[in-house]
Every structure is written in C-alpha cells, then in structure tokens.
A and B are shown apart, each in its own frame.
Chain A
Amino acid sequence: MMAMAALNDAMIPIEDLSQVFSDMTPLPQNDGSDRVCVIQYPTAFALAYNYMRAIWQSKEMSQRALKLTATCAKLNPANYTVWHYRRQCLKDLGLASNEDAVRQDLALAAALGGPNPKNYQIWYHRRALLETHGVKELFCRLELDYIKDVLREDAKNYHAWSYRQWILEAVDDEELWKEEMDFASTLIDEDIRNNSAWNQRWFVVHRGKQDGKPLSMNEARLEADFAIDKGISVDPYNESSCRYLLSILKEQLLEGEHDLAKKLVEEHEAKVSNLRLAFEKTNQDPGKCVNLTATWIDLLEMMGDKESLQKAVSLAKGQATEHDRIRTKYWLFRAKQLQNGIDE
C-alpha cells in the first residue's frame, strides 16, 4: 500500500500549483462559446484542471506534468485523457519500462482507486503499464495480491475479475492456475451465490484457453460433483451452481464423447432428483425451489427418452401456472418445445 508521504510526493499540492506553473496561463474548460473571460470559482478542482489543460496545449512532457496528472487523477480518477497523458509522460521520460517507476505507478493507481475501484481507466492503466513493461513474475504476484484485496471489498467487482483473468492467461503458469482454483473454491465457500467465483472456476478449470477444448471426462465428473456437493446441495435456491452443472454437462454432450456424456447426465439427473426428494422428506414442496426444478427439466431434456420428456413437460407447466409465474410465457414455450420433442 502506498504510504501517504509517497502519494504526496507523486502529486503537486494544490497550494503550490500557481508557483510551480508560474510560467503558464491556466486554461478554463472550453465550452465552445469563445468567451473572452469566464467567471469561475477558483476551486482546487478548477485550478488543477486549468493548468492541466495548459500543459496539454503546450504538449510539455516533464516531471511537473507527470505530477500534475497525479493531482488531477486524484480529483477525478475517471478522466481518461489525464491517464493517457500520464502514460505519454512516463514514456517520454523513459520511465515506462523502468521497474521501479512501474511499481510506483501501480501503487499510485491503487492509492487513487480506493478499496473498490470501479472505473475502467484506473484498471486499464495497470494493464497498460504491464503490457509495456511485461507481466513479469514479480508484478504478476503483486497484482494478483492487489486484486485479492479489492475482491475482499467486493467479491463481484467485474473489472477486478477481467484484469485477473488477463494476468493468469498472460502468465499461464500451472502453479498459479492451481492456486487460483483454490482461491475460487474459497470464494464459493464464503458466498455460494458469487456468480463471478463460479465463472472463475470455469475459466481456471479450462486453463483460460478459449480454444473450444472440452474438459476430459474425469475433470467433468469432478466439476459436476462439485456443483452438486458444494453448490446445489448446500443451497438449492442458488442459480450459479445450477448453471455451472448444466454448462459442464452440456459441454460434454456437445464436444465430448457422447455416450460417456449421456452417462454423466444420467448420474446427475439422479442426484438432482434425489435432492428434490429431500424436500419432500421435510414436508416441503420441492416445486417452490424454482431453480432446482428448472435444472431438473434441463437434465430430463438431456436424457431425451419419452418418459423423461413427459416428466419435463409436466414440470414446465407447473412452473408456468404455479411456481414461476413471472416467467409464465417462457415456461409455456418450454413446455411446448419439450412436447414437440416427444411428438417427433
């Protein structure tokens, strides 16, 4: 974490701006009206940005310009032109490939982003620095740790996950993939409803490569069992674990060995069917668990035999008329589609 002192060193204090840029005329935001004079309150924000605009116009690339970009980024971390200019200064000053300078800029971006940054510019700045410098081992670990800190604040931060995926794929190290599997599993343990963590598990188990290669049957079985044992059994109302199971099975049906895939489907249809029985044993209506029913319908459809399809039609109609009425028309469509499957 960047110390306050280091952060301050990276910026120009507002009270020093006029002195540091005494040779420049600050430029107010041009609103296109070509006004001779614009009345503006001399707020810190206006002052810093007025000097920033003067620098942009002069195209000066210098230490003071670099520091001014940090001052301005602190005031508005989403201002993309500020970040662009910062990277141009870093390049011009020969700092873009300097390890210390890169480390400092990563720390600066972290300090300016706060505990849970959600702006595209600040995340891209990190990536741009590493793309220029190279995602070397040192930075890779530092960055994965940084992202972990952010995910601790918000385990579903979309930017954090995208960036994390990029690093893992860029480095493509087996040790890291294994550690990431543990990390994703831990997050699922902590919050079974974290869809991002389930998505990450999928990403990791496929080693990131989107080359269309399906998992091996052994891997698929492990994943399907995980989805049931650590997902659906623990919280049958959760959408993510259901979708994960269906995606694993679907991948095998589409791209794996068909007969083995069918067998895997049958095994897990039986497991889901048993989970529904568990509801009945405790005098609860399994129909109330809409997700579980939807999953069972998909599995019955995958089984494809007449009896399974008939069961699926009946369940779909139940969703339409009773259990998931907010999506009535979807379920009526689904029932009809399944019925067509029987009639054909």
Chain B
Amino acid sequence: MDENAVVTLDIGGCTTTTTTTAPTSLFYHGRHVQYIEKLSVALNSTKSYEGAVTEHLRMSGIYWTYAALSLLVSPEQADSILGVHCCSRPSNDEKTDQDYRPSIVEWVYRCFDERSGGFGGNIGHDGHLLYTLSAVQILAMANTEISQEKREAVIQFVVSLQQQDGSFSGDQWGEIDTRFTYCALCTLSLLKALDRVDVSQAVEYIASCQNLDGGFGSMKGAESHAGQVFCCVGALSIAKSLHKINHPDLLGWWLAERQVDSGGLNGRPEKQADVCYSWWILSVMTIIGRVDWISKDKLASFIAKAQDPEDGGIADRPEDMPDVFHTFFGIAGLSLLGKLPDSFRKIDPVYALPVDVVVRCGLSSQILAVKDSE
C-alpha cells in the first residue's frame, strides 16, 4: 500500500464552520494503513506505556484495528499486515532471535478464560461480554471456525448472564447496561445460537429503555445517548424486532438533531461533536432507513478534517490527536455515507463487520426500507 495513496471524497463542495489546515475533501487511506501498522507494533512493545494502560482491553483494540484495516485493504493484505494467521516478527527493539509473536488468532484463543467460559480483554483477564464479542468478531473476520468446545463454553457464558427482566450483565459481577444486550445478541448470532437465550424477553427489556424523546439509554430512566441507541437498535435488528421502536420518526429526528453546524454529530443534546458518533448514529439511521435526514456531505467533511494527513489516523475532532478507536469509526462512518470508492469493502451497520464477512457467515438482521419524502 502506497503511503501516499489518497482518494478524493465527493462532498459536493460544501462548507462548514470549522476551519482547519487539512483540506476537507481528501481521504488519506495510504497514511491510515501506515498509522494502523505502526500503532499495532508500538502497542505490542514492552516499553509502551500506552500499551500497558490499555492492555486490559487489547481484544477490543485488536478488533478496531483489524476492522479498520479491513475497510482499507483486501482480506489477504489485512491478515498479512497484522499477522492474523501467521506469527509476525517482533519489533526491532527486541533482542531475542527465536521468539515470534503469536498469530492474532492464537493470541485470541489464549485470552479464553476457562473459569467463566468467556474471553478476557487480554491473556490472564476475566471473561467479559465486551471482549467475548470482540473475540468472536475477530475470528469471523479471520475466517476461523471456533472449536465446538469453546463455542459451547461461550454460549453458556452468554446465557448465564441474562437476567429475569431480559437484560444482560457484562459478567458474573452483575453490571447491567443495554450495551451488554447488544454484545450478547451479536455474539450469539455470530455463533448461530441466538435461540439459546430468551430473545423476546431481551427485546422487551430494550423496549422498556426507550425514552419519550425517541432515544434509548443505558437502562430504564437513563438519558438518551447515541452510543446506547446503537446498542439498543442493533440488538432489536438482530432480533428482527424493530417494530418495538415506538416512534421511529421521532428517533430519526432525535438522531438527525445530533448534527451540529460543524457537520459533526454529538451524542446527546448540547454536547460536543465527536467522530465516533459517525458510526453510532449513522449505523442506526441506516438500519431505520433514515440516513438521508442528515447532511451526508457536511458529516463527511467533518470526518475528513479530523484526519492527520501527515501520520495518518483519525481523531475525535479536527486538530486533536488520532487514536485507533476514532480511526475505525471515522472510516466506518465514511463507508456508511457511501463516500469511499466502490472498490473498498463496505461495512455492515448491524454487525460492524465487513459486509462480505457477514454474508460469508450467513448472518441476518432487519433493516427498514429507506423513508423519503417522495
């Protein structure tokens, strides 16, 4: 991949209130590949402080990295760059000769927590739904079939976390959040085991977390928040229960109202725009068929301005430092907006995986037809 590879985004020559040094209409995908490559090596280094303070969530970090790269290069290239199937050479500052890092797939399996039956954020960590989902997503992208034994252990782990009211806790300690309903249903769907939990009860719980402004929160009574909206609507989509959204037009409008003058999207009223909402909100609007209700060009322009044209990567907003989380969601956002060339792989709005992976795995979800003014 040529590090200087760029693509011109079609944003219709729109202007917004933000002025930055980066041109608004170029997408530096060559630099982004370089950024991702450098970052994954850096985090693995034993000298990295950043790596040390994020080691507990490395599973999700790898998922964001792998998914982001998958939208930029072919599956073979992504696998090769990250060492998904083959072990890779360690970074230059390692002195030993014979040691190789394990492949990503091998490392994922090492994160399996026997005691709980789930996957932890890194080797030695307790199993948790968040990292179990990331693990299963990584294996799906890697086209690796999980063993029967582990599959059953993971299913039982997820099943054990469903509460009486249909909600899910993140692990055996009991924290409840609608994020975990999404993690549970998405994991089980990927393992073709959705029928092992009480889906209708799960749906009832999600439905009860709807607020009268049309949005969803982390639990009943909690303030509507775009991230939680994604988790709730994503879960309903997997459960083919979008009819449980009481006021889809109102939800669509609440989401459309997240777009501010800069073109970016915020997560709640009167908060700052953040690139990651390009994913949380756009995916929901795609699922409910109302993505035209925002200005796609202005949003694309906002994401483009948040890129680092020198070193690659995308930040939460223009002029800030990039990180892999926002890089993934920024690229995913541009993909959903249809702004990337057709030759690039597309992302599925429900499973947050490349569409070809979703098709290959035979996954299904519910997407509403586009609502327009015609």
Binding site for B on A (CB under 8 A): 28-33, 35-41, 43, 45-46, 49, 53, 56, 75-76, 78-81, 84, 87, 120, 124, 127-128, 131, 156, 158, 161-162, 165, 169, 193-196, 199, 202-203, 208, 210, 238-240, 243, 246-247, 250-251, 325-330, 332-333, 335-337
| Distance in Å: Cβ of A264 to nearest Cβ of chain B | 15
Contact A247/B46 with A32-B101, A33-B101 known, Cβ cut-off 8 Å: no
User: Is B41 an interface residue, CB under 8 A from the partner?
Assistant: no
User: Is B49 an interface residue, CB under 8 A from the partner?
Assistant: yes
Known pairs A33-B99, A39-B96 / 19 extra A-B pairs, C-beta < 8 Å: A29-B52, A32-B107, A40-B46, A49-B52, A75-B53, A76-B52, A78-B56, A79-B56, A87-B173, A124-B173, A128-B174, A158-B218, A162-B219, A169-B221, A199-B222, A325-B295, A329-B293, A330-B253, A333-B372
| Distance in Å: Cβ of B124 to nearest Cβ of chain A | 6
Contact A31/B256 with A195-B270, A327-B294 known, Cβ cut-off 8 Å: no
Instruction: Type the 1/0 row for B256-285, where 1 means its CB is closer than 8 Å to any CB of A.
Output: 110101010000111100000000000000
Q: Chain B residues with Cβ under 8 A from A330's Cβ? A: 252-253, 256, 290, 293-294
Q: Is A240 in contact with B269, judged by CB distance below 8 angstroms?
A: yes
A193 to B272 alpha-carbon distance, docked (Å): 13
Q: Is B56 in contact with A199, judged by CB distance below 8 angstroms?
A: no
Q: Is A337 in contact with B249, judged by CB distance below 8 angstroms?
A: yes
Q: Chain A residues with Cβ under 8 A from B213's Cβ? A: 243, 246-247
A75 to B49 alpha-carbon distance, docked (Å): 11
The B interface is mostly helix, strand or loop, or mixed, namely: loop
Q: Is A84 in contact with B173, judged by CB distance below 8 angstroms?
A: yes
Residue among A46, A53, A75, A161 making CB contact with B223, cutoff 8 Å:
A161
Instruction: Type the 1/0 row for B335-360, where 1 means its CB is closer than 8 Å to any CB of A.
Output: 00000000000000000000000000
9 CB-based A-B contacts, threshold 8 Å: A29-B123, A29-B124, A45-B49, A78-B57, A158-B218, A210-B208, A239-B270, A243-B213, A332-B373
| Distance in Å: Cβ of A136 to nearest Cβ of chain B | 19
Q: Chain B residues with Cβ under 8 A from A84's Cβ? A: 126, 171, 173
Please name the residue on chain B nearest to A161 by beta carbon. B223
User: Is B29 an interface residue, CB under 8 A from the partner?
Assistant: no
Q: Is A326 in contact with B298, judged by CB distance below 8 angstroms?
A: yes
| Distance in Å: Cβ of A5 to nearest Cβ of chain B | 27
A246 to B250 alpha-carbon distance, docked (Å): 11
| Distance in Å: Cβ of B214 to nearest Cβ of chain A | 9
| Distance in Å: Cβ of B265 to nearest Cβ of chain A | 11
Contact A31/B174 with A195-B268, A208-B221, A330-B293 known, Cβ cut-off 8 Å: no
Q: Chain B residues with Cβ under 8 A from A199's Cβ? A: 211, 222-224
Q: Is B269 in contact with A195, judged by CB distance below 8 angstroms?
A: yes
A202 to B121 alpha-carbon distance, docked (Å): 37
Contact A336/B96 with A156-B271, A208-B221 known, Cβ cut-off 8 Å: no
Q: Chain A residues with Cβ under 8 A from B219's Cβ? A: 162, 165
User: Is B32 an interface residue, CB under 8 A from the partner?
Assistant: no
| Distance in Å: Cβ of B87 to nearest Cβ of chain A | 8
User: Is B85 an interface residue, CB under 8 A from the partner?
Assistant: no
Binding site for A on B (CB under 8 A): 44, 46-47, 49, 52-53, 55-57, 87, 90, 94-96, 99-102, 106-107, 110, 120-126, 128, 171, 173-175, 177, 208, 211-213, 218-225, 249, 252-253, 256-257, 259, 261, 263, 268-271, 290, 292-295, 298, 371-373
| Distance in Å: Cβ of B172 to nearest Cβ of chain A | 9
A194 to B269 alpha-carbon distance, docked (Å): 8
Q: Chain A residues with Cβ under 8 A from B249's Cβ? A: 337
| Distance in Å: Cβ of B279 to nearest Cβ of chain A | 18
Q: Chain B residues with Cβ under 8 A from A195's Cβ? A: 223, 268-271
| Distance in Å: Cβ of B183 to nearest Cβ of chain A | 13
The A interface is mostly helix, strand or loop, or mixed, namely: helix
A169 to B220 alpha-carbon distance, docked (Å): 11
| Distance in Å: Cβ of A84 to nearest Cβ of chain B | 5
Q: Chain B residues with Cβ under 8 A from A327's Cβ? A: 256-257, 259, 293-295
Q: Is B123 in contact with A30, judged by CB distance below 8 angstroms?
A: yes
A292 to B298 alpha-carbon distance, docked (Å): 24
A53 to B122 alpha-carbon distance, docked (Å): 12
Most-contacted residue by chain B among A31, A49, A199, A337 (CB, 10 A): A31
Pairs A-B, 8 closest by C-beta atoms: A247-B212, A332-B373, A32-B102, A199-B223, A330-B293, A210-B220, A193-B270, A195-B269
A223 to B147 alpha-carbon distance, docked (Å): 57
Contact A329/B257 with A80-B128, A124-B173, A240-B270 known, Cβ cut-off 8 Å: no
A38 to B94 alpha-carbon distance, docked (Å): 9
Q: Chain A residues with Cβ under 8 A from B372's Cβ? A: 329, 333
Please name the residue on chain B nearest to A165 by beta carbon. B221
Q: Chain A residues with Cβ under 8 A from B52's Cβ? A: 29, 43, 45-46, 49, 76
Q: Chain A residues with Cβ under 8 A from B46's Cβ? A: 28, 38-41, 46
| Distance in Å: Cβ of A109 to nearest Cβ of chain B | 14
A246 to B213 alpha-carbon distance, docked (Å): 8
Q: Chain B residues with Cβ under 8 A from A35's Cβ? A: 96, 99
| Distance in Å: Cβ of B258 to nearest Cβ of chain A | 10
| Distance in Å: Cβ of A283 to nearest Cβ of chain B | 24
Contact A196/B223 with A80-B56, A84-B126, A326-B298 known, Cβ cut-off 8 Å: yes
A203 to B224 alpha-carbon distance, docked (Å): 12
A328 to B293 alpha-carbon distance, docked (Å): 7
